[in-house]
Amino acid sequence: MHSTEICRPVLIRNSLHVLQVILMLTKLFDFNLNSVTESSLWRSTDYGTTYQKLNEKVGTKTILSYLYVSPNNKRKIMLLTDPEVESSLLISSDEGATYQKYRLSFYILSLLFHPEQEDWILAYSHDQKLYSSVEFGRRWQLVHERVAPNRFYWSKTGLDKEPGLIHLETIISEGQALYVTCKLQNCTEANKGKPFPGYIDPNSLVVQDEYVFVQDLHVISTDENRVVAAVQEWNQNDTYNLYVSENGGVFYTLALENVVSSMGHEGNVMIDLYEVAGIKGMFLANKKMDNVVKTYITYNRGRDWRLLQAPTADLRGNSIRCELPYCSLHLHLHVSANPYTSGNIESKDSAPGIIVASGSIGAELTTSNVSMFITSDAGNTWRQIFDEEYSVLYLDQGGALVAIRHTPLPIRHLWMSFDEGRQWNKYSFTMSPLFVDGLLGEPGEETLIMTIFGHVSHRSEWQLVKIDFRSIFNRRCTEGDYQTWHLHNRGEPCIMGVKRIYRKLKPIARCVMGKTYSVTMTSAPCDCTEADFECDYGYERRSDGKCTPAFWFLPSSMSRSCTTGTTFINSTGYRKVVSNNCTAGVIAEYTARRQHCPTQAPKGLHLVTSEGKLTATLGTNVTFLVFLEEGDGARTSIMVDFGDGHALTYSNVSSIEDGVKHVYKAVGIYRVTATGENSLGSESVVLYLHVTCQLEYIHLSAPFVAVKSKEVNLTAVLWPSQVGTVTYIWWFGNNTEPIITLEGSVACTFSQEGVNTVTVQVSAGNAILQDRKTIAVHEYSRSHLLAFSSNLDDHNPDVAEWRLDVSRVIKNSMVKATGVSPEQLLVTVLPGLPTAAEVFLLPDKELTEGKPEKNSLSEILLSALNQNLVQFTLRPGVQVTVYAAHLSAAPLVDTSENHSGSAMLMLLSVVVLGLAIFVVYKFKRYSKWLISLNFLRILLSRHFLCPQMKCQSAFRHYQYLAL
């Protein structure tokens, strides 16, 4: 029989009693039966030194499933039985010493204790019914049917009118739900409240502090009258966007995009966001970008985020080369749902600045090569402490740390540090190795006692090891053992508008702080800077750091409720970060201003460029002028949308009399819009601006050989690739009429054999450039790719003249090795490395029936190549062998009548690179070709690669009901 025991210990510490009680529920799970077959209840009254088994007091055959302690009276205990055996509960009022059993008519799935009334409990059943009890479970009354799971909440004193009010979400249909309130003992239709008049999103009701949410989102925090919520946008699967609210919890702005999420064991969504204990406004988050997850840190509640600097050395003192932003430290941010095992990250209010977490170093967060890291200065610098995962317990308010290795193997040692993780001492906690299942610490931050529980083997009884660390310390701390520590962010002492100085234990001190120690902090306000303000509702932070209106938001809409003669609050686009205590400085510049309401709707709005043109050059300043014929210009806001994702808003027309300047970073036709709006109306005007840049070079990409009456593709490549509106003019042979297109490629056929000339002219703005190519047209042709011995790459400068010379040498070598007529071979070396070439097999003009001999000619050539007969001397001592490149079972290109396609396949980027290198070779003959090559590769990456587009997400039109 394969089985294992599950343990749930609970420590009961009552301030009125010196007695400290631990209750522990153990369950034996049979994997063959897939169920719990036995349970045992244990009780200790000497804090884990000895335990008494209470199975006889609860029933020897009773199988217990859950253990609860009243949050308002630790003497009251509730035990639930396994509903598959019986549906009962056992109640104790003497800290678990004695019990009374009560039968239930329903199966309890979850319990919710009242935050203040010790006997009030809500119970949720397996059939979606909600029950209430005001006698600590001795009697139950049905509250409501068809209640959504985990969507019921107790009222809160000072926020609700009645203390016995219950907030709950009821299920109407598969896609509809209602938010209702009920009285505890009288939830009839007449007494129901409906705070929200319509339907709400299913599984969306959240009641937390003074807020009630009826939209589908995950509320992370409502601390200090500020809501932090995670919302999954339509284009997200495993990530969420993080939003923060103003003081009212109604208006939200984007704080961080694409925060990683995962599913918990109970199907709940877990967001990779961690609020650091002991330091207000400090968070860590894992963000996914380009399919890579990285860890970011903020010190001002999400206003600014940055990567973590990796440690400079590993455990063995070896230097770690990790440069931002390409390499950084990444942390796992999951907090353990089990209170008896450590999560991936730990911090304590009593030990500000100390964070212990598991993670990895590199370009992204990984689950392999996981190590343990610690910081003593709130994330500015980190040290590696273990190269495996460990559970870490804070002792004596952070004055000491205990670490136990995460391993499925039995262990007998633990590690302890007295200097914030700089050095670790090894201690043995048991004589026999133990499979560790969890840790239990003494309540309170000053704990110096811990209990380790586990098994000697998978079939053995529980083993508990109580460890008292007080004997390790030989004295209590004195004032000389403490030091001051300045909180900072990369040397910047002003965080959240203040300079904070903490009193903490010196790393070299080895003493007991005890219960008398408390964290003390002194602070002094700083002058306000832009960094103390976040984007206000409706505004988004651009790449330059400025807050500008989102595409969906019109700032003037905030004054629509205005009436003539009154005033309204006009946002500057910024608001001070909640809990930020800065003073003076730029506070007047960034704080919202009270303004008079408009008296006349805008009329006669004009938008022109300062030069009166509808064209502009890429990268230069374009000045737009905005005029208003009628309307109160001083009370009308003007928004200018430049059409490229950027916009500016001005509170009045007079402030933009000198024009609005903007620089476009890409060519194209932009729709520029100016909108004037006040509470009495609005007006818009549109201008279409053509942004162009100078055309420098063109290159005609065409095959060397074409088959008669077979279609070939011709492509004109521009440098730079985007220059605005372009016209292409194509000339074929001696034709007097060209073909004109707006696309850079055409398809054509040649009806006669011989040499044909193709010319393309490109007209862009005032510039016209052209390029010409000759194409050999034959009845049929066949081609093979060629490869070379690797020594040729060492001498390949990758310029056109060199490729032409080598092509002639290869052709001569093939003629010499095969005896084939030179007129039947055409060789061209392709641009790029490694060196490659293509050989074309042409028909013999002297044969009246030329087609039958093409296969034998191909076989002769391939035979010579396979026998390494085709060789040439590049220079003395450099002998090069030519091979057939066997990329596939068939030739790369076959242009006989039984095949279609061009006689040559060329990659566009390779052709452009060859053109660019040819220009350097021709006009900068005396410069080093390697430097030119590298430089042009950089240019190509800028001009020919399509820029990555970034989607800006907006939290638009989400409405919440805030009570």
Which residues are within 8 A (CB) of 559 and not within 5 positions of it... i.e. 6 or more apart? Answer: 568, 570, 595, 597, 598, 637, 678, 679
Q: How many helices (H) and strands (E) does the chain have?
A: 6, 70
Residue 280: both structure tokens together:
């207000």
Q: Three-state SS for 693?
A: coil
C-alpha angle with apex 959: 675 to 599, nearest 5 degrees? 35
Which residue type occupies 801? E
Element (H, E) at 264: none
Query: According to the model, what pLDDT value does residue 284 have?
Result: 94
State the Cα–Cα distance between residues 210 and 177, nearest whole angstrom. Answer: 22
C-alpha distances (whole Å) from 561 to each of 245, 554, 943, 946 are 22, 14, 49, 45
Closest CA to 653 of 672, 637, 665: 637
| pLDDT at site 138 | 92
Residue 265's pLDDT is: 65
Residue 37: CB atoms within 10 Å: 15
pLDDT for position 892? 35
Give the SS3 label for residue 961: coil
Q: How far is CA 797 from CA 254, 776, 874, in A?
A: 51, 27, 13
DSSP 72: S
Cβ atoms 344, 360 nearer than 8 A? no
C-beta of residue 134 within 8 angstroms of C-beta of residue 119: yes
Strand partners, 893: 783
Please report, for residues 164, 285, 927, the alpha-carbon distance to residue 132 in angstroms, rounded to integers and kept in the order given: 11, 39, 87
Ramachandran category for residue 811: left, alpha or beta (phi over 0 → left; psi -120 to 50 → alpha): alpha
Rounded (10°) angle between helices 800-818 and 908-923:
110
- Give average pLDDT by consecutive 10-residue segment, the chain, 963 residues: 50 47 81 81 82 84 87 89 87 90 90 89 91 91 90 82 84 86 80 79 82 78 79 86 82 88 75 89 91 93 91 91 93 73 81 92 91 94 92 84 88 90 90 83 67 79 80 84 90 90 86 77 89 89 87 71 69 86 90 76 83 85 83 73 89 73 89 84 88 86 83 86 84 85 88 87 84 83 86 86 88 90 86 87 61 67 89 88 65 36 32 36 31 30 27 25 22
Domains for the chain: give ranges and CATH numbers.
479-528 (2.10.70), 530-597 (3.30.60.270), 603-692 (2.60.40.10), 693-779 (2.60.40.2470)
Say what the pLDDT of residue 359 is.
94
One-character DSSP codes across 99-156: -EEEE-SS-EEEEEE-SS-TT-EEEEETTS-EEEESSTTSS-EEEESSEEEEEEEE--
HEC string of 557-572? HHHCCCCCCCEEEECC
Is the Cβ–Cβ distance between 76 and 64 less than 8 Å?
no
Q: Are 210 and 226 in contact (CB under 8 A)?
A: no
Complete DSSP assignment for 609-665: ETTS-SEEETTSEEEEEEEEEES-GGG-EEEEE-SSS-EEEESSGGGGTT-EEEE-S
Residue 602: enclosing H or E segment and its boundaries? none
List Cα–Cα distances, 852 to 708, 751, 781, 782, 857, in angstroms.
17, 21, 12, 13, 10
What is the reported pLDDT for 855?
A: 60
pTM: 0.59
Cα–Cα nearest to 607, from 544, 681, 662: 662
* Non-local CB neighbours of 782 within 8 Å, separated by 6+ positions: 840, 841, 854, 857, 858, 891, 893, 894, 895, 896
DSSP 702-727: --SEEETT--EEEEEEEESS--SS-E
pLDDT of residue 914: 40
Q: What is the pLDDT of residue 852?
A: 43
E strand or H helix at 808, and its extent? Answer: helix 800-818
In this predicted structure, what is the pLDDT of residue 341?
61
What does the alpha-carbon distance between residue 232 and residue 917 come to, in Å, rounded to a whole number?
48
Beta strand 100-103 with 88-92 is antiparallel
**Of residues 192, 125, 183, the one with CA closest to residue 155:** 183
